[in-house]
């Protein structure tokens, strides 16, 4: 049993997502992307067991499997690799963040969960969310707790000190810089060289004029726009 399988077998899961990318083939100097049906046919014929498939950007698709065994098998499928595909389960599909709102005032306590009370739920970590204080503009601890679950789905509630509390979805903010294209900061605080979000070069950028050079992602060097949400680096940093 591999690691993903071990983690996920503890949780109640309905669907497993696997992303599949195709490395473009260059034939007679022409870049040949696969059509939706061509890709589906290859994935199907490689023997992958999936419930459905959807487009997920240029040369990228998302399949849904009904078990973790099938999802893992897709990522290890040799035939698919041979055909030039790359299948992966993004990190954000394995870790789900939930919020417990208005939990309790911060008293400096270490937050602990009694594991035996939360059977079948794997908690990665718990931390307090910050909020900006209106008067001072400083970030302070809020009453809300953020919980990282190792699962593809979020539990409806968890038990803390004997109390059953509902868990709501945490909506993450991925900070992206529109100046240098990197994650983790915004352009206002960027000191890097401005780069083109289309071709990744640092050429002069004029507002309203589209760059028509070959697409290259700043973060993964893939043949897509830097802001493409199908970028494997973006998917693993959400
Ligand atoms: Zn930047
Ligand atoms: Zn450019
Ligand atoms: Zn990318």
**One domain for residues 78 and 112:** no
Range of the domain at 223: 174-238
Mean pLDDT, the chain, rounded, equals: 80
User: How far away, in angstroms, is 92 Cα from ligand 1 center?
Assistant: 23
User: How far away, in angstroms, is 198 Cα from ligand 2 center?
Assistant: 5
**One domain for residues 101 and 147:** yes
Mean pLDDT of 58-83: 89
Q: What pLDDT shows up at residue 110?
A: 59
Which residue in 201, 229, 221 sits closest to 213, CA to CA? 201
**One domain for residues 116 and 148:** yes
Give the position of tokens 């959807």. Answer: 54
Mean pLDDT of 123-135: 78
- Residue 13 pLDDT more than 60? no
Q: Whole-angstrom Cα distance, residue 191 to residue 238?
A: 23
Residue where a domain stops, chosen among 67, 89, 111:
89
**One domain for residues 18 and 78:** yes
Residue where a domain stops, chosen among 31, 58, 89:
89
Q: What pLDDT shows up at residue 186?
A: 83
**One domain for residues 158 and 102:** yes
**One domain for residues 208 and 146:** no
Residue where a domain stops, chosen among 127, 154, 169:
169
- The number of the ligand nearest the C-alpha atom of 216 reads 3
**One domain for residues 179 and 234:** yes
- Please list all protein residues whose beta carbon sits less than 5 angstroms from ligand 1, which is an ion: 177, 179-180, 190, 192
Q: How many C-beta atoms lie closer than 10 Å to residue 137's C-beta?
A: 7
pLDDT confidence band for 30 (50 / 70 / 90):
low
User: How far away, in angstroms, is 231 Cα from ligand 3 center?
Assistant: 4
**One domain for residues 217 and 159:** no
pLDDT confidence band for 238 (50 / 70 / 90):
low
- The number of the ligand nearest the C-alpha atom of 223 reads 3
Mean pLDDT of 217-221: 93
Q: Whole-angstrom Cα distance, residue 66 to residue 17?
A: 9
| 138-151 per-position pLDDT tens digit | 777 788 888 888 77
Task: Name every residue whose Cβ is closer than 8 Å to that of residue 181 and which is 6 or more positions away in sequence.
Answer: 195, 197, 200, 218, 219, 226, 227
- Residue 114 pLDDT more than 60? no
Q: What pLDDT shows up at residue 12?
A: 38
**One domain for residues 127 and 187:** no
User: How far away, in angstroms, is 210 Cα from ligand 3 center?
Assistant: 19
User: How far away, in angstroms, is 186 Cα from ligand 3 center?
Assistant: 18
Domain count, the chain: 3
User: How far away, in angstroms, is 197 Cα from ligand 2 center?
Assistant: 7
User: How far away, in angstroms, is 214 Cα from ligand 2 center?
Assistant: 8
**One domain for residues 9 and 38:** yes
Lowest mean pLDDT among 38-52, 105-119, 177-191: 105-119
């Amino acid at each position: 049993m591999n690691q993903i399988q071990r983690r996920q077998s503890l949780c109640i899961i309905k669907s497993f997502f696997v992303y599949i990318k195709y490395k473009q083939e260059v034939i007679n100097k022409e870049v040949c992307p696969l059509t939706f049906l061509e890709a589906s046919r290859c994935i199907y014929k490689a023997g992958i067991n999936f419930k459905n498939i959807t487009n997920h950007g240029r040369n990228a698709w998302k399949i849904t499997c009904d078990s973790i065994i099938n999802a893992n098998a897709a990522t290890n499928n040799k035939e698919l690799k041979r055909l030039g595909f790359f299948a992966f389960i993004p990190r954000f599909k394995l870790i789900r963040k939930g919020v417990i709102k208005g939990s309790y005032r911060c008293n400096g306590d270490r937050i602990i969960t009694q594991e035996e009370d939360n059977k079948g739920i794997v908690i990665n970590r718990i931390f307090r969310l910050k909020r900006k204080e209106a008067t001072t503009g400083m970030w302070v601890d809020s009453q809300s707790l953020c919980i990282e679950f190792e699962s593809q789905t979020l539990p409806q509630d968890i038990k803390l000190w004997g109390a059953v509390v509902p868990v709501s979805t945490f909506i993450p903010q991925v900070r992206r810089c529109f100046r240098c294209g990197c994650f983790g900061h915004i352009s206002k605080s960027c000191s890097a060289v401005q780069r083109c979000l289309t071709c990744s070069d640092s050429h002069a950028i004029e507002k309203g004029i589209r760059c028509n050079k070959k697409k290259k992602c700043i973060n993964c060097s893939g043949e897509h726009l830097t802001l493409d949400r199908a970028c494997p680096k973006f998917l693993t940093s959400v």
